[in-house]
Amino acid sequence: MNDTEISLLKQIDHANIIKLKEIIVSRPNKRNLFRGSTFLVFEYMDHDFAGLFKHKNKFALPETKAIMKQLLEGVAYLHRNKIMHRDIKSANILMNDDGCVKLADFGLGRKVRFENFFTYKVVTLWYRAPELLLGCKSYTDKIDVWSLGCVLVEFFTGEVLFRSKTYPI
């Protein structure tokens, strides 16, 4: 968690993005070595898709379409508001028992700036767009769309599309 993440979460208000309910800050004291802690409280969601895929949950085509529609609506909202998530993966996609899907974990999220120069070491390796793999430091919100495509493949195969233990460059 960082200040940028908290700032982004305070700005975001969409049905398909996790809601920050409260921020709790503890005071520095002897027990925490005089370093206070910050706790973010989010709305409760029942599942993440990494866990569902790990347990071999299969989704019918109509379910997959409904899930992807919600994800696309959330990501479109972010992009309209000049925000890149930069870490879309199945573990950061949550769902409750009512079928509501929400995007979570904005630790790598950034506002799009005019110059768009960022670190290329973002997005979990298996979901990383080609331009990031090639070391490009100037990229757009299209990297989120690539990651969504990788997630979509997981729905159909139950496996990560580009599983690797090594960095290609």
The set of catalytic residues is 87
Cα-to-chain-centroid distance, residue 134: 21
Selection from 105, 169, 165 nearest residue 135 by Cα: 169
Per-residue exposure over 119-141, b if at least 16 CB sit within 10 Å of its own CB, e if not: ebebbbbebbbebbeeeeeebeb
Q: Which residue has the tokens 């019918």?
A: 60
Distance of alpha carbon 37 from alpha carbon 131, whole angstroms: 36
H/E segment holding residue 160: none
CB 154 within 8 A of CB 51: no
